[in-house]
Amino acid sequence: MPDILRIATVRIREEIDVVTCRQSARQIAAWLELPHLEQIRFATAVSELARNTYQYAGGGLFHFDIASSPGGLLERFCLEAWDEGPGIEDIERILEGSYVSHTGMGLGLRGAQRLMDEFDIRTSPEGTRIRACKYIPGYRAAPGPDQVQAIRLQLQHNGAADPFVELQLSGSELLLTTGELQNKQLELEAINLELENTNKGVVALYSELEKANEEVREASASKSRFFANMTHEIRTPINIVENISKLLLNGHDGPLNPEQHRQVAFISEAAAELSGLVNELLDLSKAESGRSEIAPTRFTLAEFTEQLRQCAGAIALRYPHLHWEVAVPASDVLLQTDRHLLFQIMRNLIDNAFKYTLEGRISVRTYLPDDDTVEFLVEDTGIGIAEENQARVFEEFSRIRNPELGKVQGTGLGLPLAQRLASLLHGSITLDSRRGRGSRFLLRIRRQHDEATIEAPAVDLSGMNILVVDDSDADRYLLATLLRPYQASIHEAKNGAASIEMLYEVRPDLIFLDLDLPDIAGEDLLENMDWGMHSRVVINTAKPLDDSIRQHLARHSRAIVQKSAADYGEQVLREVSRLMEEQQHGR
């Protein structure tokens, strides 16, 4: 029989105890010198089980033990979880992976089981007991009493967990896990190559290949989520720089002297350029997930053609040997469509024309074939595209190899993304090209998009109390600066605790609520508010939200505003204007 030594016990009463439990598991695993990825797996399993215990049983106890052999060698690091909840139905189906949950219940158990080497669960209407272990590799002596006392004192000294620090550690662990999944993907590629070179062992390797393919799909989904999250996080501070620099250039806090105006203009231009790059990454992420929002605005064809001329001029600086022209339209008309998406399509087409033209010229022209349509033609005298390859240029990650253009850089996503965006604008892109004689890309879209344009509202917020709940000084400053000129009374709270006091002291007419607060999740703060306050809450977040979360938040708030949105300021003013109209009509 192995000797069992208890190292620590954590009681789950509140949500913060889930974080403390995960932190204790990681610290003990590190003390036992488990490999780094095994530490992450153990801590993640503990986190999932602790969260299930808190959510579905209302609380419980987590014990952390080490087991050693009769000879005194370390064998296992174990957890034992107890709760007095109502028990878990369909436990066998949950553990075998066939149970379909509509609430998330059981997913943590299944995930924890896969992360541990041993996993035993016993559940009944009187409660649930779980014991799970990780094997400790190598041959090492069990720790002595002094070492055990030292880790216990360290755990006591650390006290309650800091959610922000834990979030940072979890982010680092996500990077490590992503690297591991990438390594697994490389292993899969090696297996595929072996299968192509020989038919030996095909039957034996078939099941392994299916398993590896599933790991690749999970890795791809994990990387996509990580990519979207990180791009949003990068976009938020850029958005702050852009908006504040615009306020300074517009003389919001007083006129700038010429040198200050020049310096701030440099900042604004650099932020706009960086914003464009990040927006492209966001668009790629949206294109992969099939989610892109249309924001129609009114603008003239002449204005847009001038924007294209400036774009082509900037690109042409890298190709001084080429001649180019953006022709003035024969007649000007009013367009109502998503200008940002339309420009992104044309920028991709123009940039593509320059890249693949060794000598000659590039021209951009506009046509009005009927009262409902506008056409943009991008024509070059470049190397052209063979007929058999013309369909491939619109396939994602597909690039036509050509020895003459070995140094051309690109991801192979420009034209596929342009075609997808064109379809969102009720249009299409057609290609006419011959090898050695250049290419003609014709974009054809409707002049008027179906969705009505929302005009910027006239806003007067006199006598209105607005509460901004956000731990970011810059985000609070930006919101206050946007709203203060309209005579609103702005109140700020840096965390959830401060906002709770203000909710009852100020009784705000409108609440801008960030979801990432340092002491309590914004979602939890929202659910604990009086139901009557939900209609005053605007979710103000940088987090990417999937459909289920967005639908849940929409039921408990009046609106959701993304900090990273290009028209962030307009959205903010639109929501306060809507609230005023409702109050004026007694709604």
Measure the CA–CA gap between 285 and 292, rounded to whole angstroms. 9
Domain 297-446 has CATH 3.30.565.10: yes
> Are both 297-446 and 465-584 of the same fold?
no
Measure the CA–CA gap between 230 and 226, rounded to whole angstroms. 6
The secondary element (H helix, E strand) that includes residue 180 is helix 163-197
What's the confidence (pLDDT) of residue 140? Answer: 85
Least confident segment among 117-121, 163-167, 320-324, 378-382: 163-167
Whether residue 550 contacts residue 430, with contact meaning beta carbons closer than 8 Å, is answered with no
Block residue for tokens 């036992």: 32
Comparison of pLDDT for 189 and 349, the residue scoring more: 349
* Most confident region among 33-47, 99-113, 157-171, 279-293 by mean pLDDT: 33-47
For residue range 130-149, what is the model confidence (pLDDT) as tens digits? 999 999 988 888 898 899 89
Whether residue 65 has pLDDT greater than 80: yes
* pLDDT band at residue 399 under the 50/70/90 scheme: low
Return all residues near 529 (Cβ < 8 A) that are at least 6 apart: 503, 537
Domain 465-584 has CATH 3.40.50.2300: yes
Q: Does the global pTM surpass 0.85? A: no
For residue range 312-369, what is the model confidence (pLDDT) as tens digits? 998 898 888 999 999 999 888 999 998 988 998 999 899 889 988 888 999 999 999 9
Least confident segment among 36-50, 154-168, 518-532: 154-168
User: How is the chain split into domains, by residue range?
Assistant: 3-161, 168-291, 297-446, 465-584
- The amino acid sitting at 12 is I
Q: What are the distances in angstroms from CA 330 to CA 118, 323, 333?
A: 75, 21, 10
Measure the CA–CA gap between 21 and 161, rounded to whole angstroms. 8
Whether residue 21 contacts residue 62, with contact meaning beta carbons closer than 8 Å, is answered with yes
Say whether 460 sits in a helix, a strand or coil.
coil
* pLDDT band at residue 456 under the 50/70/90 scheme: very low
> For the chain, what is the mean pLDDT?
80
Whether residue 454 has pLDDT greater than 50: no
* Most confident region among 276-285, 401-410, 489-498 by mean pLDDT: 489-498
Least confident segment among 176-185, 304-313, 366-375: 176-185
Whether residue 165 contacts residue 147, with contact meaning beta carbons closer than 8 Å, is answered with no
Comparison of pLDDT for 241 and 60, the residue scoring more: 60
- The amino acid sitting at 161 is A
* pLDDT band at residue 377 under the 50/70/90 scheme: very high
Whether residue 159 has pLDDT greater than 70: no
What's the confidence (pLDDT) of residue 457? Answer: 47
Q: Residue range 462-470: average pLDDT?
A: 86
Comparison of pLDDT for 578 and 170, the residue scoring more: 578
Instruction: Identify the burial level of 198 via C-beta atoms within 10 angstroms of its C-beta, where 0-12 means exposed, 13-18 middle and 19 or more buried.
Output: exposed
Whether residue 296 has pLDDT greater than 80: yes
Share of residues in the chain with pLDDT > 70 (%): 76
What's the confidence (pLDDT) of residue 575? Answer: 79
Return all residues near 373 (Cβ < 8 A) that are at least 6 apart: 444, 445, 446, 447
The interaxial angle of helices 107-115 and 36-52, nearest 10 deg, is 160
What's the confidence (pLDDT) of residue 452? Answer: 44
Correct CATH for 3-161 of 3.30.565.10, 3.40.30.120, 3.40.50.920, 3.10.20.30: 3.30.565.10
What are the tokens at 92?
A: 């066998």
Whether residue 175 has pLDDT greater than 70: no
Beta bridge partners of 439: 380, 433
What's the confidence (pLDDT) of residue 263? Answer: 87
Least confident segment among 93-97, 161-165, 343-347, 427-431: 161-165
What's the confidence (pLDDT) of residue 553? Answer: 84
* Most confident region among 19-23, 197-201, 502-506 by mean pLDDT: 19-23
Whether residue 201 has pLDDT greater than 70: no
